[in-house]
Amino acid sequence: MNPAKVYVGEKVIISVLVTNIGDETGLYTVSLKIGQVVEDSKTVMLKGGQSATVTFSVTKSVPGTYTVAVGDLTSEFMVLALPTFPFLEFIVASFAAAGIFLFLLLKRSKRPDVKKS
């Protein structure tokens, strides 16, 4: 599995080597389960003794640890929430507030002088 940790919306590539241990050509359906749900299936035709790599691509939108099973093989991958940058948000808000303050200050200081007679 590559990579084992991703952020929400990123791809995880899952590959498995399938081998026909018999002597005759045959079809084999490889099913990818995530949890107890079949997420995807692919069918391969292999000659006797032949092997092939079957690859699946998975993208998840919810953070968590997912258990993957293909036949008797199992593994896990972790989906992380997108990082937040509260400090960056604070800096942006501070610059916006300073900009508004300067705008109002400059606007106020540019009022035309009105002389009373």
Per-residue pLDDT tens digits for 90-100: 777 787 888 78
Looking at the domain assignment, is residue 73 inside a domain?
yes
CATH number of residue 17's parent domain: 2.60.40.10
Range of the domain at 53: 5-80
Looking at the domain assignment, is residue 21 inside a domain?
yes
In the chain, the number of structural domains is 1
Q: Token pair 């953070």 is at which residue?
A: 63
Band (pLDDT 50/70/90 cuts) for residue 115 is low
pTM above 0.75, yes or no: no
Largest CA distance in the chain: 112
Looking at the domain assignment, is residue 96 inside a domain?
no
**Residue pair 61/39 in contact by the 8 Å Cβ criterion:** no
Q: What is the mean pLDDT of residues 26-30?
A: 95
Pairing of strands 5-7, 73-80: parallel
pLDDT of residue 85: 66
pLDDT value at 117 more than 80? no
Half-sphere exposure of 108 toward its Cβ, with a 13 Å CA cutoff?
6
* Of 3 and 27, the one with more pLDDT: 27
Please tell me the distance from the alpha carbon of residue 8 to that of residue 28, in angstroms, as a whole number. 32
